[in-house]
Structure 1
Amino acid sequence: MAPIDGPVILSPADVAQAMELSAEAGWNQLPADWRLFMAHGKVFGLFDGMVLVATAAIMPYGDDFAWIGMVLTRKDWRGRGHGTALLKTCIAELEALGRTALLDATPAGEPLYRSLGFEDGERFTRWQGVGGGASAASATPDPAALTAANAAFGADRTPLLIDFSARCPAARRSAPQGAAHAFGRDGRIATQIGPVVGADEAAVAELVEGVVAALDGPVFLDVADSRPLLVERLRALGFARQRPFLRMRKGPRPAPGRANETAVIAGPEFG
């Protein structure tokens, strides 16, 4: 392995150690999420001998932008600038490609990202609750759901959505007449609902209620703060506000997609 002062690109052989970092931080990822980054993006890592001590990942979408996520440092190695160094590696990589960098920041990370030139965008909030455990069959998804979800996001991420659909088919639902579409994935701590797209707030709220009812156990949703009806419905279902996220951007191109159609994101790591 490379010395701690040299970033390397991680491979599936490193997933077990990467999972140790995300689990230590209390994050929700499974090995399948790390493999998505490795298959369709790039994960940078720093090693101290054979021990993976820090990570940061890039997930490209389309030709113009990419998401930065999974900026993690093992507890005993924190405070030495390793995470920041890998973040800068990701930024430099995207700048060299002419891509705009996007990320979803926690309040603790916002000052660092602003110091690196990131600008504020939309705000989201994670809501946590419990699924209803209904035994009814899942609603039939609209074949146009992938097209609608990609259009709302602003780039084709079909492989990601297909992976989510296989991992959590109960969350793969569409509202009547294609007014809204939902996807989701399994997680280490909770099922993560998202993305959910649709401009009709009532249709989105009803669709999300149906997904929640069909799931067992803990559930997370990262909801746009511009969706008060959905938030109201989640509160009524017993969901509680967990943490905020701020979407931030650095680069030559404006934020992609159609913000008025994005109700729930796929998670801060995927956008």
Structure 2
Amino acid sequence: MGATDAQLPIIRLDGRDALGAFALSTEARWNQNEADWQFFLTRGVVFGVRDHDGRLIATAALLPYTESEAWISMVLVTENRRRRGVATRLVDACLEAARRRGLTTWLDATPAGAMVYGPLGFAPTIELRRLRLERAASPAPCPALVEGNLGELITRDISAMGFDRRDFLPEVAGRPGSRLLSTRDAMALVRDGRTARHIGPVFADNPDSALALVTAIVASEGEAHLIDAVAIHAGFLDGLMRAGWTIERPFQRMRFGNASQATLEHPFAVAGPEFG
């Protein structure tokens, strides 16, 4: 069976594959929804493998953000076909597509994934912690929330990422259910996911302001939330856990190639491992 899997061709996917791809991420209990997959399939380069019956059994996505920077994510293999080299082949396809375009590639890896990507030439950058909150513990005094400024979000995101994601952020902010929220000295993007609302990126002048903004968001929505916090902000992380958030897993951000521009600030939370 392993040799058979190794011979299955890698194909390029398109928007018609959204449901099959969504089934894979659902099986893996990931938080992506159909809108996320449509974005990858229409804006990115998504590779896949089908079994002999035509069923999609694996994916990997390359999402170019600029002419020099791209994100690799959505590396998924259905459970009964894992550990047969399919994921490695798909990541290699993404890297080859990036090489042809002259792109530096980034990804957020689990600890197990980091052990695979390191030998391929990926270098570690920042560490992340994914946290989940099922519901705000109790009403607490919160700062007033106002609609955030999309231009300011893009500017701060460029400062944090080192490259421009102005095609990505407006699309996500404009989805039904998305909210771009701000207080006097903090701002965050909130969007729908399959199992929970996702908060990020989050930018703030200090940890207390970031924590106050996140607290106000969850109090205003009353739903389950996920956040991918940047580990260097220890005070922010501690504050989240004191408020009832629990860490689900760590991620290691990694880069293949040279960054085109140095980052000028660290966000308090990122847009998610699928988007960076």
TM-score calculated relative to the size of structure 1? 0.90
5+ residue gaps, structure 2, are: 1-5
**Equivalent residue, structure 1, for 2:191:** 185
- Partners of 1:170 and 1:21 in 2: CA distance: 24
Moved more, 27-36 or 208-217: 208-217
Match runs of 1:1-271 below 5 Å: 5-49=8-52, 50-132=54-136, 138-143=145-150, 144-167=152-175, 171-176=179-184, 179-253=185-259, 257-258=263-264, 260-271=265-276
Shift of 1:256: 5.3
Please identify, of 25-34 and 148-157, the stretch whose mean Cα deviation from structure 2 is larger: 148-157
1:215-267 deviation digits (Å, cap 9, x = unpaired): 23211000001112221221122111110000111113367533x33110111
Q: Percent identity?
A: 35
Structure 1 residues not aligned, in runs of 5+: none
Q: Is the 8 A contact 2:144 2:183 kept in 1?
A: no
User: In 1, distance between residues paired with 2:274 and 2:77?
Assistant: 15
Indicate if the aligned counterparts of 2:198 and 2:225 stay in contact, CA closer than 8 A: yes
Q: Following the alignment from structure 2 to structure 1, what is the Cα–Cα distance between the partners of residues 242 and 197?
A: 19
CA-based RMSD of the aligned residues comes to 2.3
Q: For residue 199 of structure 1, report the CA deviation from its aligned partner.
A: 4.1
Contact 1:128–1:239 (CA under 8 A) maintained in structure 2: yes
Specify the SS of the correspondent of 2:244. Answer: coil
Instruction: Tell me, in whole angstroms, the C-alpha distance in 2 between the residues paired with 1:4 and 1:10.
Output: 18
Give the whole-Å Cα distance in 2 for the aligned partners of 1:104 and 1:255: 19
Deviates more, 1:188-197 or 1:143-152: 143-152
Worse overlay, 201-210 or 47-56: 201-210
SS in 2 for 1:109: helix
- How far off is 1:138 after superposition? 5.0
CA contact (8 A) 1:191 1:219 kept: yes
Comparing 81-90 with 228-237, greater Cα deviation is found at: 228-237
Instruction: Compute the displacement of 1:145 (Å).
Output: 2.6
In the aligned structure 2, how far is the partner of 1:90 from the partner of 1:181? 33
Structure-1 residue corresponding to 2:3: none
Distance in 2, matches of 1:239 and 1:168, equals 26
Instruction: Report the AA paired with residue 218 of structure 2.
Output: V
Contact 1:171–1:193 (CA under 8 A) maintained in structure 2: no
